[in-house]
Structure 1
Amino acid sequence: MRITQGCFSFLPDLTDEQITAQVEYCLSRDWAVGIEYTDEPHPRNTFWEMWGNPMFDLKDAKGVMMELDDCRKAHGEKYIRMNAFDSTRGLETVTMSFIVNRPEIEPQIVMRRTEVDGRAIRYTHEVVR
């Protein structure tokens, strides 16, 4: 099962050249880029581990790609994503997010549907490894 979260998630994995092009686009719009990783891709897990701080002052895609390479060396068996932050309104708002690394074997997320009082339906998710 392929985890689909963020931009480009229904496309084949991006190559490093394609990732660099996306980073250049983000930097051209003065968005800061941050890198995060996790081994728990549950849809409600919004708290991934940060790889360093978001790169607010970086203007060159090579620096971001060097950080990505270091993160892959340390956490290559986990999910890694890039986030782009737009701070033009005084807030750190995630404008773009996409997965740049996946484990070889992805866990399955099983959705269970249960009918409860008043014909309401409750959904639960479970990660199966």
Structure 2
Amino acid sequence: MRITQGTFSYLPDLTDEEISAQIAYALGNGWPCAVEFTADPHPRNSYWDMWGLPMFDLIDPAGVLHEVQECRRAHPDRYVRLTAYDARYGRQTTALSFIVGRPPQEPGFRLDREETSDRQVRVRIHPYALDRPEDTRYDAP
């Protein structure tokens, strides 16, 4: 099952050329970029590990793309995303965020149904990855 989060989530994975075009768009708008990675891509997990520092001083998309490629090489079994920040509001505001790297195998989710009082039904999403230890959640079985 494919994790879908952020901008472009329902499109096929972007090529490096397409990623570079999006980086150029972000930098053209004055949005600094950051590269992040995680083994837990749950939608409520907004705190991914930072790859280096946000690139406030880069104006060339090639420099940001290089950091994306280095992060993917260092963490081939993790999710990698690119985030661009808009500082016009005086606080960290995400203007653009999308996944640029995925593990080779994504374990997927199941729906757990629970019947409660007064015939109410609750449905919860359970990621199969949670059945394994944190550091091995996305390793091949």
TM-score (norm 1): 0.92
Structure 1 residue 38 and structure 2 residue 41: aligned?
no
Q: State the 4+ residue runs in structure 1 displaced beyond 6 angstroms.
A: none
Map of 1:1-129 to 2, 5 A cutoff? 1-129=1-129
Deviations 1:103-124 (A, max 9, x none): 1110212222323234444332
Paired-residue identity, %: 49
How far, CA to CA, are the matches of 1:128 and 1:66 in structure 2? 32
Deviations 1:53-106 (A, max 9, x none): 111121110110111111111101211000110001111101111000111110
Question: What amino acid sits opposite 1:110 in the alignment?
Answer: R
How far, CA to CA, are the matches of 1:22 and 1:72 in structure 2? 17
How far, CA to CA, are the matches of 1:46 and 1:121 in structure 2? 28
Looking at secondary structure, tell me which structure has more helix per residue.
2
How far, CA to CA, are the matches of 1:109 and 1:47 in structure 2? 21
How far, CA to CA, are the matches of 1:95 and 1:123 in structure 2? 31
Deviations 1:4-56 (A, max 9, x none): 00011111100000000000000000001111111112222221111111111
How far, CA to CA, are the matches of 1:44 and 1:119 in structure 2? 28
How far, CA to CA, are the matches of 1:63 and 1:6 in structure 2? 22
Contact 1:42 / 1:109 at 8 angstroms: preserved in 2? no
Unaligned runs of 5+ in 1: none
CA RMSD of aligned residues (A): 1.4
TM-score (norm 2): 0.85
Unaligned runs of 5+ in 2: 130-141
How far, CA to CA, are the matches of 1:19 and 1:80 in structure 2? 12
How far, CA to CA, are the matches of 2:51 and 2:87 in structure 1? 19
